[in-house]
Amino acid sequence: MNFKENIGRGFTVTNKPSMNEKIVEIRGDIKLINQRITMIEKNHLKHLNDKIVTVQRILWLVLSIGLVNIFAAFRHVLLG
């Protein structure tokens, strides 16, 4: 039998991936996406949260110093 006879008997020659191969590829992609999301949640978001907390502490410190200075100025004005 030659090539043309094989095709005529129901054999197909194709380079397209089968449905199972596509499903396996999609599952692999989903696992990779889940790993990246987990990395973002556990690593990057934690570092961002730490930086935000640091900025908040600095802002509270500046606010406290400002309020102390305002009270000191009022005390100086009122008591002379």
pLDDT tens for each residue of 44-79: 888 999 999 999 999 999 999 999 999 999 999 998
DSSP state of 16: S
Range of the domain at 72: 18-79
Residue 44, in any domain of the structure: yes
How many domains are contained in the chain? 1
Residue 48, in any domain of the structure: yes
Residue 43, in any domain of the structure: yes
Reported pTM: 0.52
Residue 59, in any domain of the structure: yes
d(CA 80, CA 75): 8
Per-residue pLDDT, averaged over 29-52, amounts to 91
Residue 26, in any domain of the structure: yes
Residue 70, in any domain of the structure: yes
- pLDDT value, residue 65: 97
Residue 61, in any domain of the structure: yes
Confidence band for 1, pLDDT divided at 50, 70 and 90: very low
Alpha helices in the chain (DSSP H): 3-8, 19-39, 45-79
DSSP state of 18: P
